[in-house]
Structure 1
Amino acid sequence: MQFFSYLISGISLGSVYALIALGYTMVYGIAKMLNFAHGDIIMIGSYIVFFAFGSAGLNPILAIVLSMVVCTVLGVTIERIAYRPLRDAPSLAVLITAIGMSYLLQQVAQLSWTSSPKSFTSVVKGFAPISLFDGQLRIPAETVVTIAACVVIMIALMLFIKYAPAGHAMLAVSEDRGAAQLMGVNVNATISLTFAIGSALAAVAGALLCSAYPTLQPTTGAMPGIKAFVAAVFGGIGSIPGAFLGGILLGVIENLSKAYISTQLSDAIVFLVLVVVLIVKPTGLLGKKVNVKV
């Protein structure tokens, strides 16, 4: 039963990585830029939930909705101020700006709420765990909610991209930004919407992450953000199912590595698996090969 317990915990952790990776993969797939401040938006969202639910006693669903609103506004503002002026700049300039924005958000959080760790109250507090096999396997409520939320959000995103007019605009911009603009697509609004959706997902991921691992500080989103980026590349960056698959596999590999190999080497094993996968399949597990005309 221990193996199944580790496996389910890994899927739960991987679901959080997948939620974060969805934000990365959408922004990259449509805007062709890497938003390394994404992990810190998770941290900001977690603080909003911490104060709204843990301190003010707001309903947990309302606290998460408030966090999503704040993170959406923050994500759109970052895109408008920091990234939009650099849209035609070299990718290195965008990368440096993203790293700078990440450190800026961490420093603002530290000045606003201090660097001391805070004990996060689970948003599913009060829900009983699920018992299987006559009580031999107990699945925490946080795990069930995290996995279910990840699956529902991934399906909703895929349906949105496939059937909604805004989703069609995102596909057009991802294929050819110039041609989409000539066809009447508002490129600026489409990219802003992409950042809004990714940032809202970051708020949900932050609440679920801190519910399962209840310690909150200004650097909380840094490592999960990096691992989620790895998950997006692992699954095939730009692919929504790829982000989901990459996140789940990453969480399972990390958890099983901690359980059966070494807690100190688990991160190294995760990155080693990524290197091996990219050597065999450079576009990731579900990524598609793109032919570039020169």
Structure 2
Amino acid sequence: MTMDMFLQHLANGISLGSLYALIAIGYTMVYGILRLINFAHGDIFMMATYFAFFGVLFGMKWYVAFPVTIILTALLGMLVEVSAYRSLRDAPKISILISAIGASFLIENLAIVIFGGRPKAFPTPPILTSVVQIGNISVQRLTFMIPIVTVALLLALSYLINKTKTGMAMRAVSKDHETARLMGVNVDRTISVTFGIGSALAAIGGIMWGLKFPQIQPLMGVMPGLKCFIAAVIGGIGSISGAVTGGFILGIGEIMLVAFFQSLTGYRDAFAFILLIVILLFKPTGIMGEKISEKV
């Protein structure tokens, strides 16, 4: 493989890893607050692509439809939290897990009924998807934009969590719900805001996923959702920097697997699960995770 080809694949790997990282942050934020795996997160990501699709279809300019999509998706995430999780907050963990899986199936099947099962072409503005030639390397502008957007959002999220009252409330709730409530923190609102932020990041990831792979359908969130959950576990679930690290490892690893071992292209999805098994065998808490004792 020539250096040009390697750089081409590396650019694609970083771009894909950035998308995984954005979606994985949503998983790890919710887990950090509730010790809950939000299995509906991948389906919220899918819904974002449909919000954007119909926004453009009904006459909105893409630069209007995309921000509206982010807001609607954040509200959807908060609605899922209120309807599926809030009443079970003090219930056994298995009850919340079953509710999460049920919410995922409900969103998927509602999408099939409302939108139909036939794939649709995602709107792709030429200014975002045009190809840029750098030497012998041809890449979409979007390939450069995705990592930049991911890093910018990560910095903004880091500022929110570490420098604002909302972030302080999130950190307090992640340690102990009851103590945070006694200290005057509105726990329900803090958890809803966490779901909203995670869903907004999933929406941004969904929009960029649709631009990069411009075909959407109701079950498109299943495999990316699983992979982003795996990325969060690999990096250390509960750690935002770990989720980003896991996303980049998974994205770059997938692309390089296909590039260097073309005969294994059909096993691309299996790579994520094999990597997960290896990580769990040697470092069960993930690369950047800390040992967390579960409350009884």
Q: Aligning the two structures, in what range does the TM-score lie when normalised by the shorter sequence?
A: over 0.9
Matching of residue 90 in structure 1 with residue 92 in structure 2? yes
Q: CA 1:123–1:280 in 2, change beyond 3 Å: closer, same or farther? A: farther
Aligned to 1:130: 132
Shift of 1:57: 4.0
Q: Which segments of 5 or more consecutive residues in structure 2 lack a partner in the other structure?
A: none
Shift of 1:61: 2.5
Aligned to 1:10: 13
Q: CA 1:123–1:17 in 2, change beyond 3 Å: closer, same or farther? A: farther
CA contact (8 A) 1:41 1:75 kept: yes
Paired AA for residue 222 in structure 1? V
Paired AA for residue 91 in structure 1? K
Aligned to 2:122: 120
Aligned to 1:250: 250
CA contact (8 A) 2:129 2:211 kept: no
Structure 1 residue matching 2:18: 3-state secondary structure? helix
Aligned to 2:162: 162
Aligned to 2:22: 19
Aligned to 1:141: 141
Give distance in 1, aligned partners of 2:293 and 2:216.
43
Q: TM-score, normalised by structure 1?
A: 0.95
Q: Which segments of 5 or more consecutive residues in structure 1 lack a partner in the other structure?
A: none
2:101 to 96, 99, 102: 99
CA contact (8 A) 1:233 1:284 kept: yes
* Deviation sequence 1:195-227 (CA, Å, 0-9, x none): 010111111111000111111000111110110
CA contact (8 A) 1:124 1:141 kept: no
Give distance in 2, aligned partners of 1:127 and 1:216.
17
Give distance in 1, aligned partners of 2:254 and 2:202.
21
Matches within 5 A, 1:174-189: 174-189=174-189
Q: TM-score, normalised by structure 2?
A: 0.94
* Deviation sequence 1:43-101 (CA, Å, 0-9, x none): 11100111112x23422232111111111111111111110011111211111111111
Paired AA for residue 47 in structure 2? I
Shift of 1:126: 5.4
Paired AA for residue 276 in structure 1? V
Shift of 1:255: 1.1
Identical aligned residues as a percent:
44
Structure 1 residue matching 2:265: 3-state secondary structure? coil
Shift of 1:127: 5.5
Structure 2 residue matching 1:264: 3-state secondary structure? helix
Aligned to 1:50: 53
Q: CA 1:11–1:184 in 2, change beyond 3 Å: closer, same or farther? A: same
RMSD, matched Cα: 1.5
Structure 1 residue matching 2:138: 3-state secondary structure? strand
Give distance in 1, aligned partners of 2:211 and 2:124.
4
Q: CA 1:94–1:124 in 2, change beyond 3 Å: closer, same or farther? A: farther
Paired AA for residue 277 in structure 1? I
